[in-house]
Amino acid sequence: MNFDLAAGRQGTSMTPSPSPSPGARTTLVTEDIVVLVVYFLLVLGVGLWSMWRTKRSTVDGYFLAGKNMTWWPVGASLFASNIGSGHFIGLAGSGAAAGIAAFSYEWNGMLMVLLLGWLFLPIYVASGVTTMPEYLQRRFGGKRTQLFIAVLSLFIYVFTKISVDIYAGALFIQLALQWNIYLAIVVLLSVTALYTVAGGLAAVIYTDAAQTAIMLAGALTLMGFSFAEIGGWNALMEGYANAIPSIRVPNSTCGITRDDAFHIFRDPVNSDLPWPGVIIGMSIPSMWYWCSDQVIVQRSLAAKTLTHAKGGSLLAAYLKFLPFFAVMLPGMISRILYTDDVACADPEQCKQICGNAVGCSDTAYARLVMELLPAGLRGLMMAVMIAALMSSLTSIFNSASTIFTMDVWRSFRSRASEWELMIVGRVFVLVLLVASILWIPVVQASQGGQLFIYIQSISSYLQPPVSIIFLTGCFWKRTNEKGAFWGLVIGLLVGCIRMILDFIYPAPPCYEEDERPAVLKYVHFLYFSILLSVITLVVVVVVSLSTEEPAPEQISRLTWFTRFDPVEPKQHVFTVKRSSKTFDVITVQTADMGTTGREQETSNGKACHDRKDSSSSVSSSVHSQSRLMSALYWLCGMERRKDGEDNPVTPPAPEQACSLKEKRHLRLIVNVNLVICLSVVAFFVGYWA
């Protein structure tokens, strides 16, 4: 298949490809295979190495990496968890279709990840929680809000995050290499599940750090090739405006580039992303993702100190500048180079080119990889896409496993041993793996273009009520359980009604008249996000003020204003079995945090439980075990004790209420970097606004 690149820049006629895959002529060569093999060996090596660094047989070790992570792996994991294969496909496709406005989600994310480090995380650390639903249970009491959020989070993970990343990864594999989608996805998911099950959060974080380096190296390399091919920055600015396909639907706007393509802030009434919605309506669901979603917060909770957690947020914010240059701008360049294919505007032609009548802009990034890069580098970019897919899925697998184990399973098995929780956490990863594979046909059957159009609107319908609950719970002491629960229920009910209407009445193509109901036609989903947030906030405030105040234990160390409260010690009596006939009674003094924990240390009125890992997981004694079983237990991190050793009966989830104390010079360093980062964000947003 031959292309006239000069003609493509001017949008002149080009013979459409009859093949459903533009990259079908390109196959892997020896250099590409070598790069892919080295990549997989690197990932497995890092995963195995990380198993030696953390005690994986404890709740803290498996779900929070022993709370011993420094700032750089935390920041790299935050970035890798966010930048999945959906970013490479969807962000480049959005750039090719409508310009840079969609990157406002990334600018917004930079601010929100800093908000996490400086405002929300001190509250979570002081409370000593492992999961976000657990925080709601402590803050409001009862179980229904906790279970509501836990089930909702699992639903969002399986049917939006996992499906989008699998779709994007499968699309790239199909377009670039013509591999069998099912076989490729099964192999990739199996590898990700292997080191997620075996290594826990520590393996996920360290492999995320390695994947981040691979993703940035490959994406920046492709950016260099793209700008060299197009002729530089000025050629991009001029060429994009002229990248209009030769075949268009007459008397329509189909295929015409936007006049505001290089603006983030667009018309508040008639544009695709109105600027008031970008500032307010986008920030509210983004606050849920960055400040109260288990996938993101769990990485920050794994940091050894609050200062390291803040440093991780800063690193993630700095790294999020790069996708604008390394992903979105190359997507716009792809439209210039391959105008009639990437920017096709006629449904029949689009169907011939990429098999999707909605449009082929999602093929922009894969097209650059297969057309511009030489052998070897093509294998590197294949590794980049696999890295993006695997890093996102491992993060979701681990966090979903944490939520299910600590919030759902413990709700029905309150006296479950630590050994049981470790088994349940690992098995649930396998359940997610199977559910993800079974979901592939559904994702394949859906239209990719509409999938990425709807993913942000779905966030605007489901996430604002959750954001308001966390916001009021953290910063308004008067919020109680009844207000939070009914605000959540009513908010999600209203959001689901709008989401269902969106699916019943999808936005019409550019050549058809919009005959949708007024609430869909005239109320942009970002404006609806603002309306939904106001409705939820009003319900929370009215119900909370109309009912009883929360108890003191639901306030202390659980809000911004009470995070430094001292913790009253509380005695708990446990019976410990020493042998078959001997029992000892031990009195343990713990922090009164709503659940029992380790011995309490107090410093300057702040409590912090012993940071040492619990000596080992609770397990049944065995007299002997085969080498095969010993190897299996080691692989899974399930250490067993021999008969006669101490086997303390610990609570099912030992908690840590960690000190908020920071070293003065380190706090000064992160605060100065905070000012620098915010200034750079303000400059970029102002320049492109």
Q: Is 60 exceeded by the pLDDT of residue 457?
A: yes
CATH of the domain at 339: 1.20.1730.10
| pLDDT at site 344 | 87
Q: Is 50 exceeded by the pLDDT of residue 619?
A: no
| pLDDT at site 229 | 93
- The three-state DSSP-derived secondary structure of 128-173 is CCCCHHHHHHHHHCCCHHHHHHHHHHHHHHHHHHHHHHHHHHHHHH
* Mean pLDDT confidence for 671-675: 96
Q: How confident is the model at residue 651 (pLDDT cuts 50, 70, 90)?
A: very low
Q: Does 415 map to a domain?
A: yes
Q: Whole-angstrom Cα distance, residue 473 to residue 478? A: 8
334 or 612, higher pLDDT:
334
Amino acid at position 672, single letter: V
Q: Does 113 map to a domain?
A: yes
| pLDDT at site 223 | 94
131 or 439, higher pLDDT:
131
- Its domain, for residue 25, covers 5-256+275-449
Q: Does 466 map to a domain?
A: no
Last residue of a domain, one of 428, 449, 470: 449
517 or 561, higher pLDDT:
561
* Mean pLDDT confidence for 225-254: 87
Per-residue pLDDT of 77-101, as tens digits, reads 899 888 877 778 888 888 898 889 8
Q: Is 90 exceeded by the pLDDT of residue 62?
A: no
85 and 217 fall within a common domain: yes
440 and 568 fall within a common domain: no
**Taking Cα atoms as reference points, which of 424, 403, 417, 406 lies closest to residue 614?**
417
| pLDDT at site 176 | 62
200 or 209, higher pLDDT:
209
Per-residue pLDDT of 113-143, as tens digits, reads 999 999 999 999 999 888 899 999 999 988 8
| pLDDT at site 469 | 96
| pLDDT at site 13 | 34
29-38, 52-61, 497-506: which range is least confident on average?
52-61
57 or 511, higher pLDDT:
511
Last residue of a domain, one of 386, 415, 449: 449
**Taking Cα atoms as reference points, which of 613, 621, 620 lies closest to residue 654?**
613
Q: Whole-angstrom Cα distance, residue 164 to residue 166? A: 6
Contacts of 438 (CB under 8 A, 6+ apart): none
Strands 569-577, 600-603: pairing is: unpaired
DSSP state letter for 612: S
Q: How confident is the model at residue 535 (pLDDT cuts 50, 70, 90)?
A: very high
- How many structural domains does the chain have? 2
Q: Does 265 map to a domain?
A: no
Element (H, E) at 402: helix 377-403
Q: Is 70 exceeded by the pLDDT of residue 495?
A: yes
Query: Can you spell out the DSSP letters for 233-269?
Result: HHHHHHHHHT---SS--TTS-TTPPPTTTT-SSB-TT
Q: How confident is the model at residue 548 (pLDDT cuts 50, 70, 90)?
A: very high
Torsion of CA 458, 460, 465, 467, to 10 degrees: 110
| pLDDT at site 655 | 39
Q: What percent of the chain has pLDDT over 90?
A: 29
Q: Whole-angstrom Cα distance, residue 65 to residue 67? A: 5
57-61, 308-312, 529-533, 672-676: which range is least confident on average?
57-61
Mean pLDDT of the chain: 77
513 or 9, higher pLDDT:
513
* Mean pLDDT confidence for 427-431: 82
* Mean pLDDT confidence for 490-512: 85
Q: Is 60 exceeded by the pLDDT of residue 198?
A: no
439 and 571 fall within a common domain: no
| pLDDT at site 592 | 46
Q: How confident is the model at residue 421 (pLDDT cuts 50, 70, 90)?
A: confident
609 contacts 589 by C-beta, under 8 angstroms: no
Q: Does 519 map to a domain?
A: no
Q: Does 55 map to a domain?
A: yes
* Mean pLDDT confidence for 339-354: 84
Residue 227 is encoded by which pair of tokens?
């700008």
Q: How confident is the model at residue 604 (pLDDT cuts 50, 70, 90)?
A: very low
Per-residue pLDDT of 310-326, as tens digits, reads 999 999 999 999 999 99
Q: Does 475 map to a domain?
A: no
Q: Does 51 map to a domain?
A: yes
47 or 434, higher pLDDT:
434
Angle 296-299-302 from CA coordinates, rounded to 5°: 150
96-105, 270-279, 629-638: which range is least confident on average?
629-638
Q: Is 90 exceeded by the pLDDT of residue 308?
A: yes
* Mean pLDDT confidence for 205-226: 85
182 or 557, higher pLDDT:
557
159-163, 251-255, 651-655: which range is least confident on average?
651-655
Last residue of a domain, one of 449, 470, 493: 449
| pLDDT at site 336 | 94
Q: Whole-angstrom Cα distance, residue 94 to residue 258? A: 12
Q: Whole-angstrom Cα distance, residue 566 to residue 19? A: 68
Burial class (CB in 10 A: 0-12, 13-18, 19+), 272: middle
**Stated pTM of the model:** 0.79
* Mean pLDDT confidence for 660-669: 91
Q: Whole-angstrom Cα distance, residue 236 to residue 331? A: 11
Query: Can you spell out the DSSP letters for 264-293?
Result: SSB-TTTSSSBHHIIIIITHHHHHHHHHT-
298-307, 311-320, 612-621, 637-646: which range is least confident on average?
612-621
357 or 687, higher pLDDT:
687
Amino acid at position 364, single letter: A
